[in-house]
Structure 1
């Protein structure tokens, strides 16, 4: 079962491990696909390139404006701003080249750089042309020539008055010009009209030449500027075209990249979905497979559990049935056993022949064996069900061991065995314990030692054991020189109904319960039992028990002598077994005690009886002993005035405390001997202890047999007392007639329980009279029948056919007896 449970756990753990492994692998591959999905996303990169391209286009336009401003105004700050902008454009182009992975885009950017450099060169050339300004230089040269001509003609000019005229402030230049004009107006004129005309012609001629030169220079300058401007415009067109190409290329690249990204995304997504689907399918397969396996195991385990529960219930039912069977059998056995043992004691006091004495010894031995077996079975059942309570009363362990060894030595006096006692003097004082259970343990172990030892010795050691854990321990060792036990089989002997060897039971007898009960009792007492044995040498049983010393006195031992009364006493006996109470009554009469016999409590009169003690059975069909106790103490019976009530029972699972707590004075366990009966009655009646001497008796008459019955067993109990035999027979006839009426009523009502109870009550006496076996078989079937399993009316008719001739024959036998009276 444990192995199956471990397999079940391993399968569950393996299923979880596989699921975790599958989930890990799927997660890993899905993570790779997601990473590829993210890494394939070039949208941000393309967007960055587009933004940078747009910014580059803006910067180029801005640089164009700055170049025009620098050309027009020729200021240094404009030229510096233009240079910085051009440098930043080149830097942006380089960053774009780093972002671009396409060779085409790289080539376009390189051509853009070339065009920008070309434009910068053209701008510089144009600016240079503008800066040189050759047209103004030609005009200035012409003016200088005119000034020289004026000077040669005696005209005073501002430049002649101030050589650094052009560097002077405008107001100074204006003042100098006014001065030059004033001087020219006041210079005396000595020229003739002819000279003046010649001068004018010369001036005109020179002016024409100067203007022509200026015009020619201006034309050349304009042509150069036009050329440079056309080159710049061409470069701007190429730049714009190149920028459009770059933007188109980028847009195309973005579009293609976007398409590729989408394709890659879809592929990665599909792969991820496929992986997830595959993982899910595999997971479902794993879950399904292991669910099937685990459910199959669980179903098997459930089936096994149901079978085990069914077997457990069946076992518990068997145990209960066994317990009930043992209780019932023990109860049913104790009554005839008590009868056998009681009549055996009566017969033993008669004059018997040697053969009869031998027969009687065998009867007593067999009765004792059955009694011990019943006791052991009950003890074993009570131990298994935990219904044995341990008492703690003062006892003398040394005296108990000595008594047990003496009793068993007497029992096995025919064997050549001597007993060695080694008891510590410290144990010759009172301790607290359960004397009944201790005696039972020691008797069982000593009985085994005597039984398996043919000759030699048995040693009993008892001493106080002290160790570091406790000094309140007693160790009892019982050693023998018997047959010994193999080491491999030493633990086997502690199992119920088991002996070491197969032929042990045949050779030495026994039923294999003594050691089992002893071991369980030792465990119940909180002790420990061990065994050391060598085959052919002997065995040693060691018992270690906890104990406590006490100063309370032990209960005085009642001497085991027989008792008789010197004056008449009366005892009320209530039991449904008429033959049993008649036997007890006959025995009490022989001891000068008057019995009042009652087999049906409902017929007990409520007034006019005198008795000193009440003996009542516990289990009766119509009423229990507890109900008898309640009825007597209820005040309904005037003859009861708080006399002692003693319970008689064959049930050993009910302890004495239960009866005492309900109001019983004490308990008498069936079967009991006459001595036990007298010991129980002594505290409540005026009994004196006397030794009982055997009296002579007439030899037993020849057995008398009828055609349907035999008085052999009955005569073995009552001897030659025909009067007592007739009384028993009359009681039997009366009870049987009444029982048959009850059976008829039960059969008519189809009441199986009532039939069983009646058959159970009839069987003991039918067996004592050795009635026809077919009649006994019918009663046995009625006693054990289950509801609806047989036809009660048909069985009653068959039984009536057997019992009618039996009763007729018994009536004739009783009627012909001399002491008979109607």
Structure 2
């Protein structure tokens, strides 16, 4: 019941239908009213009411005539029509009036959508107004078409078209028209089937294919005529499973998302959907099957599983080899692996939820920590070394990489922290830092070697085995000039000299020999520290040895206006058995200290016999000065390493504080003792006592005459040496031997000489410009196929050069300073050997073992021998190293020192990972040093070549290892 404006009661039947948008959402409701007021109020009608309605109708028509605006006029017309409707007596007239009202309401609509909805209402009213069946069906068709226009969704539209087609079919009068309509319906149905991109089948209840779309033909790969009437289940790899799914359609009326695999030429994975379809009487005609191809989805899932497994494997490898933790953006720990717990001594539960500062050692300055946080907060990776503290307060060092994970806005939401324990490396660095001080002692022996000694000690701080490289550098730099000094001294001693001249030259020779031995012992720190110093027991004249040593200091003493007093006990036997070289070292250190710390007064060297018997003589040596003296509290520790008279002594006077420690280690192993007496401002007296065996033998004298074997007279020698002084020395020595010689300045010239002349032997220096000794030897052996004996002349007698000499095919080597007797014997021996008949040479061939440059033990430990990770690391090295080598060579040729430094810096870390000898790592660091300072540029060429050779060989070996690993996986 509804009340109108006049509060009258009106009665209607209401029909509600939803009004939808294109996206199927409900936009409103269509309400169709059918008024039944007349039926309800029929019994209450009277004449007064009819008169009242007549009056109202007249008033309304008068109002209509007076309306000015169209909208107002139409509203009024609508009111009149409703009034007329209420006034009708006849049912047919009443429906006609309703239709007029509906049309007026239609005109009154403003929007297109409202207008269409109203047209639909009108159509329904017209339908109700029809008298015969034909008119009624025509009206239904009009309504269906209007509903079609009103549809928003494409699928709904097609369904509506199908409904229209059916209505048209029903409306046909003749059989021909009906069949044409049926054909249109079939075409509509076919369009719907073919519109599907997924395979679509219609299957009979017996399981036979009755129809399908083109997508079905494509996926199975058979033509339509071959498929019609065949058993649908035969196209699956599991026919029974497919039939079970088909039966479920009949049991449930449908089946959805049932996975099957179609047995086509490539085995396609599909999702199986089905639903029954029936005729007008409800009889089941068959099943409509839709099968969606999910092959791509399956492949994606397979790749996803593989990727997840790889990620899991990488995580496992990372957890096993590294210390890993994850924090949120505030540094709160939410993950820690077992290695983290182990090194920090905290349990997993103790770490989770804690601030990362729980392991902070408060070692690093605030600015350092602020820079770290600024870097990662800006989304950048931070790398560096951190000093942390464990739960039990033990300190450990870690090489750390912090990687921020960023959200969609580019802001970090968590950090993953990967660490490597480098505590042991830090401990070694500290030890090597102390070793730096040792190098300073060498500066008091050879000023020329000072810069190189400091450079070598700098290298020592950064390498685990830097002592070997330090020895190599110092040996080369000091032995090279000493070769000329000692060599020419021996040459001059063979000439006519006065006794005074001979005395001075002998002092130079003895001192030079002592200096070489002293340098060897100082640089060989391991020998001194371990107490493994060896001592000779040969006849020598003590008085001559003392005199020779003191001659070294005459010039320095005169420069400082000091007086040197020598007090020698004549009761001491003339010749004793002992180690004169070690005695020289002891006296050298003690007198050197006396001269250094004395600015005025005198230095007295006293040698006296304490007692003797038939076999031994005990002698006391005392070196007294009038220098600065030593405080009493320092006397007890003065013979320990790195000890000096006061904290300012090193700054004022220089030195390392190792001299007295070396003296003590030389005295005590010989059964002697040493002590000191001193007063501040008055001076010091260092005394030591040694026992020597007595002997009737004479002191060993070096023969000036060498007997020449008649067989090897007229030997022709090719000398390859770039230093003019050494060229002259070698020519002088060889002339004295009675040998012929040609001199060349580098390997390239030597090869030209050898190609055009005949020589019996080659003396080959190692470090030369253009072509060094290693390159020249390789060329002679490999390109010229010559077996001529080659002796290396080297100032570096470390294992690195010796091994390389053998590897390139050199027969022997001799160290600088060259000992003329040793040189003569080696030349004669090798020339004799080369003259042996060919059939006997096989027993004398030099055994050259293949040297392997890589050692993958470290890589195995880091990767837990995981083949995938090892291959990845090796491939990375093989990819990156050749371009770095090319850049290194090119930058050296272009004299681009900054680029040279950078390229070598990138090569060094791979030496550790691939187990390449640290000797080559030290060579690389030396190249960096020279490139940085732009000093000793001439020495870089050979080192760059060595680095190239070792990297090329390492690449070959790594390629072999890579193939080996691949064959095992």
Report the TM-score range of the alignment, normalised by the length of the smaller protein: 0.3 to 0.5
Give the TM-score, by structure 2 length.
0.31
Higher helix share: 1
Higher strand share: 2
Larger relative contact order (Cα-Cα within 8 Å, sequence gap ≥ 6): 1
Give the TM-score, by structure 1 length.
0.36
